[in-house]
Structure 1
């Protein structure tokens, strides 16, 4: 898959996790879905910020402004994910936070898939998108698995902070016996 197909695949997976949350039969199942959602959205956002957005800034005429808008949307998602991550199983605030997160993610996905991605596909050579797709798939194995709203969201600081955050996240995931994806 090329980079844009990888990102769309991530979007479909997240949409399925939202559906799974609503069809879960117990607080325990819902909490498991929340943990998977936190993990997948955190990895996705970190990799977009590190690998996709810098490319968009270079190749799109209004790339800087476009990326700034997406980074603002990411910040709202990261804050919601951090709030969800702190909640315990069965917390009454979970449904409200999940509803807000879904609205934010749906809007972000719609903008990315109807505006951002088509423009990026026109501006970038298919071979470069293919290589970036492979790089994204490999990088998922080492990406942060938790939200870090206070961390840098732009290279080069992101490139330095990301691996440290990812190592910390994976230790926490193991200690808390979080699911792996």
Structure 2
């Protein structure tokens, strides 16, 4: 898959997790889905911030402005993910936070898939998208799995902070027996 197809695949996976949350039969199942949402959305955001957004910023005529908007949306999502990550199983605030997160993600996905991705596909070659897809697949194993709203969200600082956060996150994931994806 090329880079944009991979991102769309991630979007569909997150949409399925929201459906899984709604159909969960217990607080424990809901908490497991929340942990997967935190992981998948944190990884997805990191990949976009490290690789996709810098490319879009460079090749799109108004890329800097558009990417600044997307980074702002990412910040709001990371804040919500952080709040969810800190909750205990069965916390009464979980449903409200997940509903808000779903609305944030639906809007963000719509903007990316309807506006950013078509413009990016038109601006770069298929070979570049294929190469970026291979890079994203490889890089997904070493990006953060938890939200870090106060960490840098742009290279070059993100390039240095991302791997450190990822190592820390993976250690925490193992210690807390978080699900792997």
Task: Answer yes or no: same fold by TM over 0.5.
Answer: yes
> How many Å separate the matches in 2 of 1:169 and 1:137?
19
> How many Å separate the matches in 2 of 1:167 and 1:108?
27
State the TM-score, normalized to the length of structure 2. Answer: 1.00
Aligned pair 1:52/2:56, yes or no?
no
> How many Å separate the matches in 2 of 1:11 and 1:167?
24
Which digits, 9 at most, give the CA deviation of each residue in 1:96-152, with x for residues without a partner? 000000000000000000000000000011000000001101111111000000000
Aligned pair 1:67/2:67, yes or no?
yes
Hey, what does 1:79 align to over in structure 2? 79
> How many Å separate the matches in 1 of 2:49 and 2:143?
11
Hey, what does 2:130 align to over in structure 1? 130
Hey, what does 2:150 align to over in structure 1? 150
Total equivalences in the alignment = 181
Aligned-residue RMSD, C-alpha: 0.3
Which contiguous aligned blocks of 4+ residues in structure 1 show a shift greater than 3 angstroms? none
Any unmatched runs of 5+ in structure 2? none
Aligned pair 1:21/2:43, yes or no?
no
Aligned pair 1:3/2:6, yes or no?
no
State the TM-score, normalized to the length of structure 1. Answer: 1.00
- Secondary structure at the aligned position of 1:97 is classed as helix
Hey, what does 2:167 align to over in structure 1? 167
> How many Å separate the matches in 2 of 1:113 and 1:57?
16
Hey, what does 1:30 align to over in structure 2? 30
- Secondary structure at the aligned position of 2:105 is classed as helix
Give runs of aligned pairs for residues 98-137 of structure 1, distance below 5 A: 98-137=98-137
